[in-house]
Structure 1
């Protein structure tokens, strides 16, 4: 009898220790977190109604106008005085031995308003039971903005049953580089995040990204995207080092994902090409 109880307790302990993070993420996203939404919305509406009566509309108008100007300047930029915003898109990073995603407007080697298509793929590895793949594509019609799509397929193996769980994560964004220097670019993204499988829910997303072209043929890039689905976070962070060779590159990096309550940490390695 004691041996039977020990076996049951041991099996339960092992089952909990190897519990599926992916299944937990999907179940939480399906059920959602709506406990605080009604109370927060009612409290915010009541407080806003109390404050609205005491507003000085003249001062408020000046404040809003100033805020809009600062927001526009910080997110879009001033094309009248910032020459770097006109820097043309490069053929591909280090095509001339020194330029990154952009080249100076007065550089001797110029190709005008190029159209570029960037594709990269990375294998994600956390452990033998948790791994995945990340496919990323960027369509750049010119230097002013680009469209980006990310598709991650996360896979987890149950160490006891040997069954597999999958989670499909899609991110669709319009991206804008606020700073377009020869060796450095920094910008933001706006779009949507979608979780497939049996979740099939979408949420608004926003993020930041940067590329640094510090050493010849070597660059570093990072990107962060925040979103919420059913009241729960679906966030991603990635940082990579890339070695460029002509119009392709090899990459090694790290990705952190937070999908509902569970956190995922992956080492990544992959490659990409510029068309």
Structure 2
């Protein structure tokens, strides 16, 4: 735990430098810029040849159909997995990490008696985001896990920026459906898909997708990394995080680092917070 706190202090020194004012206002202004309507306005002239035979077209469509099915099957295996041969996909969900010794979010019910384990879970965490005295924020995350297969996740970022005579703020939301592609007793890896939304003076939605992973060590310490990518009005709205967690029963404390790309400005924060599993 001392090493995690030391890493947090070093991160705090790094992110405190290189600050420029009025970043939140710049992000909102760029997200509100109108798209260039002239792009692709020129007419495209196409010429077609009538020399191809209908027989060749039929063979071509059949070949493309077979290729499409093969690609779809391969993509499905990569994204969802094969429940017939991958035993870890049937692992069940723990009440909270380390409820079973040396286990994180999942366990093998064939090995451990799950008679007293509730597979429904609600994970809640909150982190304070610090850049310097003029720029800071908060990140609240709620994750509903009705069973081991899918979960629903919501992230709420509230950023604040103070200048000499004025202040500004920005509210960023992510709403995602999540799936852990790999569910091992000490490691999980998955993806999310959904939407992003920026409130305040922007009030726009965007498509969102992401990836995340968490590793659980033997001494009640886990390490998490995650990313969410999105675009609003053709501008990037990305969020990245890494953190270390120290678990104690059904709650944890965390320290880490977050990076946000909101239009052209980017934001680096040292984070400290905690969470609970209900």
Instruction: Tell me which interval the TM-score lies in, with the shorter structure as reference length.
Output: 0.7 to 0.9
1:133 pairs with 2:138 = yes
Report the equivalent of 1:273: 276
CA change 1:201–1:179 in 2 (3 A) is same
Deviations 1:219-242 (A, max 9, x none): 011111111000111000001100
Q: Does the 8 Å CA contact 1:257/1:265 hold for their aligned counterparts?
A: yes
1:67 to 49, 68, 71: 71
Distance 1:84 1:96 in 2: 17
1:155 pairs with 2:156 = no
1:206 to 184, 202, 209: 209
2:232 to 229, 253, 261: 229
CA-CA distance at 1:243 after TM superposition: 0.2
What runs of 5+ residues in structure 2 fail to find an aligned partner? 1-18
CA-CA distance at 1:32 after TM superposition: 4.3
Report the equivalent of 2:219: 216
CA-CA distance at 1:215 after TM superposition: 3.0
Q: Does the 8 Å CA contact 1:34/1:231 hold for their aligned counterparts?
A: no
Q: Does the 8 Å CA contact 1:148/1:172 hold for their aligned counterparts?
A: yes
Report the equivalent of 1:90: 94
Report the equivalent of 1:262: 265
CA-CA distance at 1:79 after TM superposition: 0.8
TM superposition score normalised by structure 2: 0.85
1:190 pairs with 2:190 = no
Deviations 1:5-51 (A, max 9, x none): xxxxxxxxxxxx84300000000001144368x329988x979x99x
What runs of 5+ residues in structure 1 fail to find an aligned partner? 1-16
SS of 2:147's equivalent in the other structure is: coil
Distance 1:113 1:178 in 2: 21
The CA RMSD measured in Å over matched residues stands at 2.4
Distance 2:135 2:246 in 1: 27
Distance 2:122 2:41 in 1: 44
2:150 to 142, 145, 162: 145
Report the equivalent of 1:124: 129
Distance 2:42 2:154 in 1: 33
Deviations 1:90-112 (A, max 9, x none): 01000122110001122324246
SS of 1:148's equivalent in the other structure is: strand
Report the equivalent of 2:33: 31
Distance 2:231 2:202 in 1: 13
Larger helix percent: 1
1:171 pairs with 2:137 = no
CA-CA distance at 1:82 after TM superposition: 0.9
TM superposition score normalised by structure 1: 0.86
